């Protein structure tokens, strides 16, 4: 029997599916399609975008000084983010094979496509690629962590968790010892299944 919390988490999943449908409607509205992993705008839309692009000189002149001065600090995070990406990739390659957990498809989380937007100049494209990579790594790491947590400790917290990973909705209630022992094997087995549509 599902609890009210289970019902809420299933409603969240339904809303996520609605978001996917809205994304499809937006592609029609802004007149682009995705072919073989590449975004394609209609010709006249692409031309209109190019006319709106700021030159790099103008972009730098109009930038706020604090933004320019902090850019090196932001970009210095590239090294630890890349190391995290590498280490978590090695971690799942080794540990997930041992535990029998389906591996996370990294490319489903690290999506770099904003550089195709013709209204962005070179600096803006570089910034977007960096943000896409860094936040994609964090999402990838979160999914690897979520699967690991489901394998080792699939118990909800007593305290509120802000923005829990998607596996959290299937965890057992805090304090429900019987459900933990009864469901642990099944929750582990669920991790061996084919990845979700999101990971394909």
Contact 132, 113 (CB under 8 A): yes
- The model's pTM: 0.81
Of all helices (H) and strands (E), which one includes residue 40?
strand 38-41
Per DSSP, the residues of 102-168 read PPP-GGGT----GGG-TTS-HHHHHHHHHHHHHHHHHHHHHHHHHHHHHHH--B--SS--SS--GGG
How far apart CA 57 and CA 51 sit, in angstroms, is 16
Of all helices (H) and strands (E), which one includes residue 32?
strand 32-35
pLDDT digits (tens), the chain, 200 positions: 677 878 887 888 899 899 989 988 888 888 888 888 788 888 888 888 888 899 999 999 999 999 999 999 999 999 999 999 999 999 999 999 999 999 999 999 999 999 889 999 999 999 999 999 999 999 999 999 999 999 999 999 999 999 999 999 999 999 999 999 999 999 999 999 755 544 54
Contact 3, 173 (CB under 8 A): yes
């Amino acid at each position: 029997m599902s609890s009210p919390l289970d019902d809420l988490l299933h409603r969240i999943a339904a809303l996520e599916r609605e978001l996917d449908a809205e994304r499809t409607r937006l592609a029609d509205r802004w007149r682009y399609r995705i072919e073989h992993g590449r975004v394609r705008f209609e010709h006249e839309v692409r031309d209109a975008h190019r006319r709106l692009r700021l030159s790099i000189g103008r972009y730098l002149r109009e930038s706020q000084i604090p933004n320019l001065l902090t850019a090196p600090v932001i970009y210095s995070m590239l090294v630890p983010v890349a190391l995290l990406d590498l280490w978590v990739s090695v971690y799942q390659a080794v540990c997930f094979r041992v535990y029998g957990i389906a591996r996370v498809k990294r490319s489903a989380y690290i999506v770099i496509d904003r550089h195709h937007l013709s209204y962005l100049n070179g600096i803006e494209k570089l910034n977007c690629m960096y943000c896409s990579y860094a936040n994609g790594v964090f999402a990838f790491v979160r999914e690897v962590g979520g699967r690991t947590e489901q394998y080792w400790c699939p118990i909800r917290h007593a305290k509120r968790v802000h923005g829990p990973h998607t596996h959290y909705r299937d965890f057992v209630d805090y304090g429900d010892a019987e459900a933990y022992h009864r469901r642990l094997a099944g929750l582990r087995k669920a991790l061996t299944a084919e990845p979700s549509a999101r990971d394909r």
